[in-house]
């Protein structure tokens, strides 16, 4: 039996490569392979981050640096652009991905995926900041506060834009549409921003169109 120290050392296999000469030319012709694969052209398997209890692994990369490969994530920081705030909230579902419908079916978290998040942290902030309860029936906050707080809230209401109907409707359901801006497979985080205005209308239209297509095929 050969001892472990004397076992023959085989070179490690480099399967995935990102070199350019493996690709075809714009005309469709093949390019000559003038060298073998190089370490600096190496690629790795996709992270395919799913929704679940946080599970992040570190990957040692070129230059001794680290990447954080998220395998499971269920929370992230999402900013509300028009109100200039950010809150940590729960990611509930993946609803749309312009790249591939398979990423929606498997609920894979990638950059620019449209996800559904919990509205509770934003509702609580809005109530504390403006004294208005967002939800089933939008109404003034009945909690007793000082006159100074009331005047401060009134001033904030005057200086801020009214909440859009599309966003108010989402608050009633308790779920908000958001876009992922980070790269979960690279940074190990799932951060993004709430969809508002024309961008929200655009993606709602896309998702509605997709639903009607599914119904027609059935």
What would the pLDDT profile of 56-87 be if each residue is shown by its tens digit?
999 999 999 999 999 999 999 999 998 889 99
Q: What's the confidence (pLDDT) of residue 130?
A: 81
Q: How far apart are CA 218 and CA 121, in angstroms?
A: 38
Q: What is the pTM of this model?
A: 0.81
Q: What burial class does residue 39 get, using C-beta atoms within 10 Å of its C-beta: 0-12 exposed, 13-18 middle, 19+ buried? A: exposed
Q: Give the residue ranges of DSSP H helices in 25-119.
A: 101-105
Structure tokens at 140: 């003034």
Q: How far apart are CA 57 and CA 59, in angstroms?
A: 7
pLDDT tens digits, 114-146? 999 999 999 999 888 888 888 766 556 666 777
Q: What is the DSSP letter of 33?
A: -
What kind and span of H or E run contains 193?
strand 192-194
- 43 forms beta bridges with none
Backbone phi, psi, residue 114, to 5°: -95, 120
Q: How far apart are CA 166 and CA 160, in angstroms?
A: 17
pLDDT tens digits, 144-186? 777 777 766 676 666 676 788 888 899 999 999 999 999 999 9
* Cα dihedral 177, 183, 188, 193 sign: negative
């Amino acid at each position: 039996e050969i001892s472990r120290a004397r076992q023959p050392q085989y070179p490690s296999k480099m399967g995935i490569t990102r070199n350019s000469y493996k690709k075809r030319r714009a005309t469709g012709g093949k390019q000559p392979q003038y060298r073998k694969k190089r370490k600096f052209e190496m690629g790795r398997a996709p992270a395919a981050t799913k929704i679940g209890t946080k599970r992040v692994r570190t990957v040692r990369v070129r230059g001794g640096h680290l990447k954080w490969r998220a395998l499971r994530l269920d929370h992230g920081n999402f900013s509300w652009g028009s109100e200039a705030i950010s809150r940590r909230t729960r990611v509930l579902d993946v609803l749309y991905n312009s790249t591939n419908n398979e990423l929606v079916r498997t609920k894979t978290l990638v950059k620019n995926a449209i996800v559904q998040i919990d509205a509770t942290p934003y509702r609580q902030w809005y109530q504390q900041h403006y004294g208005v309860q967002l939800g089933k029936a939008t109404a003034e906050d009945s909690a007793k506060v000082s006159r100074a707080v009331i005047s401060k809230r009134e001033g904030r209401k005057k200086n801020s834009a009214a909440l859009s109907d599309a966003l108010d409707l989402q608050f009633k359901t308790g779920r908000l549409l958001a876009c992922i801006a980070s790269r979960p497979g690279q940074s190990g985080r799932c951060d993004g921003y709430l969809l508002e205005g024309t961008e929200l209308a655009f993606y709602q239209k896309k998702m509605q169109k997709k639903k009607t297509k599914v119904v027609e095929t059935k």
